[in-house]
Structure 1
Amino acid sequence: MFSQDKCVNCGDCVSVCPAGIHYRAEENGAMKHFVDRNKDCIGCRKCEEICTQNALDIMGKDVTVSELMEIIMQDYDFYIASGGGVTIGGGEMSLQTDFAVALFSECKKMMLNTAVETQGTTSLANYQKLAPVTDTFLFDIKQINSAHHKALFGIGNEGIRRNLEWLVDSGANVIVRMPLVRGYNDSWEAITGAIDYVQNLAKRGNIRRIDMLPYHQLGRKKYERLDMPYPITQDPSYSPEELDQLETFFAQFDFDIRLVRH
C-alpha cells in the first residue's frame, strides 16, 4: 500500500525493488513515484524497509502459531483480568481455518477467550472445525433476501444461512451483525426480514444479540493507497438524527438489537 501524501519522491524504493514495481515518472512538470499494479509484488519488503517516510506498507506476513502466541501472552494478565481474549478477523478468516484452529487450541490451553469475525461464506466443514475452540462467532448477515444478495455479491445466501443455522443448532455462542448501507440493504423490508429471521433462529439456540453496523468511510483511504476507485460514489453515511430514528425503530422488537455508532 502506498501513501502519496507521505512520499518525498527520493526514489530509494525504485532502486531496491527486484520486481520493478516502483518507478518514477514526470507528472505536471515534476517527478513522482508510482506503483505498477500490473506487476506482481514478491513480498520481499525491501521497499518498506528503505522508506524513511513510512509511505509504503506490505500488508500481511507469514507467522507461526508459536510466534503469535508469544505476542498474545505479552498481555495475558490483562486478558484474564478483563475476560477478553483473541479475535480473528479478515478478510474472511475461515479461508485459513486450520491455522485458526491451531491458534485457538493453544489459546484454550491458556484459558483465553476466543472469537471469530466471519461472513459465513466458506464450507460448513470449516465451521465444524472452528466450533469446538471458538467461544463466540461474530456472524455477518448482509442481505436476507437471497436474490438481492446474489445481485449485490454474486452469490446467494443459502450457504451462509446453512452455516449460521448449524452453529446455532450446535450450541455455539453467536452475535449476528448486519452492516447497513444506504440504498443497498437498509430498506425496512431488508432490515425487518433479517431481524425476523434471527429472532426465529434464536429460539433454536444461543444468539445473544444483533449488532447493526451503519456504513462508515474508514476503508476509503485503503482504496486510495491501492490506486483503486472507491465503488460507492455517493456518501451513504447516516446523520445523527437518522441513527436516532433507527434506534427507536429497533427498540420495538422483543430482542437485543444494538446500533453500533462509529
Structure 2
Amino acid sequence: MAEPEDRSDASLERWEKSGWVFSIQRFSLHDGPGIRNIVFLKGCPLACVWCSNPESRLKSPQVLLKEELCLGFDVCGLCTDSCPEGALKANGKGKARIDWPLCNHCGACAVACPVTALEMAGRKMMVREVVDDVEKDGGFHFRSGGGITVSGGEPIMQADFVSCLLSSCKERLIDTAVETAGYGSWKNLSKTVRNADLVFYDIKSLDPTKHKLFVGFSNDLILKNLIHLATHFPDKPVIVRTPVISGFNDTDDDILEILEFLKQVKTVKDYQLLPYHKFGITKYQYIGKQYPNPDLQVPDSSRMNQLKALVEKNSLLRSAVQ
C-alpha cells in the first residue's frame, strides 16, 4: 500500500482524503504523454447534449442496469428480493427493469446481482487507494513517460480531492495531468490544476448562445478561467481541445474564432480536435434516460482533416485529430 514519505499530520490527512470515482482506465495513450491511467471522477455541472459519460453527471453513486446481462426472473430475481424500495420489477421480456422514481441508488441490488447486470457507478476512494491502483502500472509509466490523468465528470467539482491526489502522485514521482471544461470558480480550478504537470482544457465554442443551447451554460466563465489559468500559472502547459459536433461547431468560422481567442493565451501549446462519437449512447439506457440528441452526426474523416489543415494554416499551434 502507498505510504506517504512525509509523516506529518497534514501529509497523512492528504493521503486519507476521499473522493467519488466512477472508473479507472488503464493503458490510455490519448490523454497525456506515454501510457497513462485515467481516473474518472463523479460530478459534472454541464449538460452537453453529446456527453458520452452520462453516469458521471451525478456526484453521488448511481445504479446502472444492463438488461442484456440479466438472467431473467424465471432463473434469478435476487434483485427484487434485495430492493428495500420495491423499485425492481420484471419487464415484458421477463428481465429486470427499474422503476427509477422509486430507486434511491442504495446499491443493494448491485450486491445481490450475480452477473453484474446491476452495478454501481461511483465509489468513494481515498487518495492512497487511487495511488495504489495507479502504481500497479508504474513500470509502464516509467518506460513510456506516462502517469496519471484525472478526468470526469468535471474534476473542479472535487477540487480538494484532486489537489490532494495529484500532490501525492508528485510525491511518488508520477507524472500528472488534468482534463477540465473550466466551468467552476477560479478558486476551485486553481486547486484542481495546481499540482498538474499538464492541463487539457475544453473550448467547445466561442458563441455564447450556441454554447448555452448545447452545453447548458454560457461560455463566459470558461473563457475567463482559461485566461486566469495562463496568468496565474504561466509555466504550466495547456492543451486546448474542441469536440467537433456537426451543426454546432464544425464550420471553418467556428474553429477560426477559437484560434483567434487562443492567441491571447500564451500557455497553450497544442490544439486538438476530437470528433464526436456515439459510443456512450447505451449508457443512457443503463441509467434510465433517453439520449438527448439522437440526430447528432459523426463528422467524417475528410472533414476532420480539413479542419486540421485549417488550424495549421491559421495558427502556430501544433494540431492533432484524436
Across the two proteins, how many residue pairs are aligned to each other? 253
Quote the sequence identity (%). 29
Higher Rg:
1
Per the alignment, residue 146 of structure 1 pairs with 208
Q: Is the 8 A contact 1:19 1:40 kept in 2?
A: yes
Give the C-alpha shift of residue 242 in structure 1: 2.7
Q: Which residue identity does 1:6 align to in structure 2?
A: L
Q: Which runs of 5+ in 1 are unaligned?
A: none
Give the C-alpha shift of residue 99 in structure 1: 0.5
Give the C-alpha shift of residue 195 in structure 1: 1.5
Structure 1 residues 131 and 237, CA gap change in structure 2 (3 angstroms):
closer
Per the alignment, residue 224 of structure 1 pairs with 285
Stretch of structure 1 that moved more, 110-119 or 144-153 = 144-153
Give the C-alpha shift of residue 245 in structure 1: 2.9
Give the C-alpha shift of residue 126 in structure 1: 1.2
Q: Which residue identity does 1:239 align to in structure 2?
A: D
Separation (CA, whole Å) in 1 of partners of 2:270 and 2:307: 16
Residues 28-62 of structure 1: CA distance to partner in whole angstroms, max 9, x if unpaired? xx533210111243433x32233233211210101
Match for 1:31 among 86, 94, 102?
Answer: 94
Match for 2:169 among 98, 103, 107?
Answer: 107
Match for 1:41 among 75, 93, 104?
Answer: 104
Q: Which runs of 5+ in 2 are unaligned?
A: 1-63
Q: Does 1:193 align with 2:257?
A: yes
Q: Give the TM-score, by structure 1 length.
A: 0.90
Separation (CA, whole Å) in 2 of partners of 1:102 and 1:239: 41
Per the alignment, residue 165 of structure 1 pairs with 227
Per the alignment, residue 269 of structure 2 pairs with 208
Separation (CA, whole Å) in 2 of partners of 1:72 and 1:218: 25
- 2:102 aligned counterpart, secondary structure: coil
Structure 1 residues 154 and 234, CA gap change in structure 2 (3 angstroms):
closer
Q: Does 1:58 align with 2:120?
A: yes
Match for 2:85 among 19, 37, 57?
Answer: 19
Per the alignment, residue 139 of structure 2 pairs with 77
Q: Which residue identity does 1:229 align to in structure 2?
A: Q
Q: Is the 8 A contact 2:245 2:296 kept in 1?
A: no
Q: Does 1:182 align with 2:246?
A: yes
Ranked by relative contact order (alpha carbons within 8 Å, sequence separation 6 or more), the top structure is 2
Structure 1 residues 151 and 31, CA gap change in structure 2 (3 angstroms):
closer
Stretch of structure 1 that moved more, 211-220 or 146-155 = 146-155
Residues 155-190 of structure 1: CA distance to partner in whole angstroms, max 9, x if unpaired? 221111111111112212100000111011212221
Q: Which residue identity does 1:14 align to in structure 2?
A: T
Q: Which residue identity does 1:231 align to in structure 2?
A: P
Q: Does 1:7 align with 2:73?
A: no
Separation (CA, whole Å) in 1 of partners of 2:152 and 2:162: 12
Q: Is the 8 A contact 1:43 1:58 kept in 2?
A: no
Separation (CA, whole Å) in 1 of partners of 2:298 and 2:146: 31
Q: Is the 8 A contact 1:120 1:140 kept in 2?
A: yes
Match for 1:136 among 198, 204, 219?
Answer: 198
Give the C-alpha shift of residue 79 in structure 1: 1.6
Aligned-pair RMSD on alpha carbons? 1.7
Stretch of structure 1 that moved more, 132-141 or 251-260 = 251-260
Give the C-alpha shift of residue 235 in structure 1: 4.3
Match for 2:159 among 88, 97, 101?
Answer: 97
Q: Give the TM-score, by structure 2 length.
A: 0.74
Q: Is the 8 A contact 1:168 1:201 kept in 2?
A: no
